[in-house]
Amino acid sequence: MRRADRLFQIVQHIRGRRLTKADFLATRLEVSARTIYRDIAALQQQGVPIEGEAGVGYRMRAGFDLPPLMFSAEEAQALVAVVRLAQGQLDEALARQAEDALSKILAVLPPAARAAAERLAVYAPLRGLDDATRARLGQLRQATETRHKLRVQYLDLSGVSSERVLRPLACLFWGPVWTIAAWCELREGFRNFRVDRIQQLEVMDERFRDEAGKTLADLQRTESDQR
């Protein structure tokens, strides 16, 4: 998470609770309490009226609010279109969060912009993911974010089954098919695996860190060089 995103999340957590402790923020944002203390000090120096102290907790001084986001009617329609198109191709949790986020945005739009967005005649009637693929996609996405290794039983296009240990790097959507881009420890190289061909999936306790030559940036450079 970028520092700017983390600072924004800190403000959101503090403004939404009566008292917020640094340990809570550290757990939610997956950083150390010391990092939270530094971030809050930086926010206070920038004029954000956060009250409190280390060991006690923090709260936002009454009357503080962030400026509202303003969207044009066309921008609101674009958001509606994106959510409608994507929902059937996302895992259940992410699809629900997309719908919730859209509802929050629509709720604060001016009436005319909201009406224009809601009457948009753009839909995605094609069949979405099957339940098994949707569930696996959710596990893969979470493992990519938390950087947990995976043990998978995979059936390739030739019908050959193999067991692999993977470092998941990114979930990629290719129209009707999702793949997981990963560093494969069996082949010692980058591989893409179709999510619907993963027969068994285990999220391992072991986490991985970036190593030279095995990161998503390395994969992207490799693919760019091959074009």
**Reported confidence tier of residue 218, pLDDT bands at 50, 70, 90:** very high
**Reported confidence tier of residue 225, pLDDT bands at 50, 70, 90:** confident
Q: Indicate whether 217 and 176 sit together in one domain.
A: yes
Q: What is the pLDDT of residues 170-214, one digit of tens each?
A: 999 998 899 999 999 999 999 999 999 999 999 999 999 999 999
Structural domain includes residue 67: no
Which of 34, 60, 86 delimits the end of a domain?
Answer: 60
Q: Indicate whether 140 and 90 sit together in one domain.
A: no
**Of 152, 182, 145, 189, the residue nearest 167 (C-alpha):** 182
Structural domain includes residue 155: yes
CA-to-CA separations, 22 to 13, 17, 117, in angstroms, rounded: 11, 13, 39
Q: What is the pLDDT of residues 68-119, one digit of tens each?
A: 556 778 888 998 999 998 888 999 999 989 888 888 788 777 788 888 888 9
Give the Cα separation of 144 and 180 in Å (integer). 9
Give the Cα separation of 63 and 46 in Å (integer). 17
Q: Considering its fold, how many domains does the chain have in total?
A: 3
Q: Indicate whether 146 and 83 sit together in one domain.
A: no
Question: What CATH code is carried by the domain that includes residue 50?
Answer: 1.10.10.10
Query: Against a cut of 0.85, is the pTM above it?
Result: no
The whole domain housing 109 covers 73-118
Tell me if 163 sits within 8 A of 121, measured CB to CB: no
Q: Indicate whether 218 and 144 sit together in one domain.
A: yes
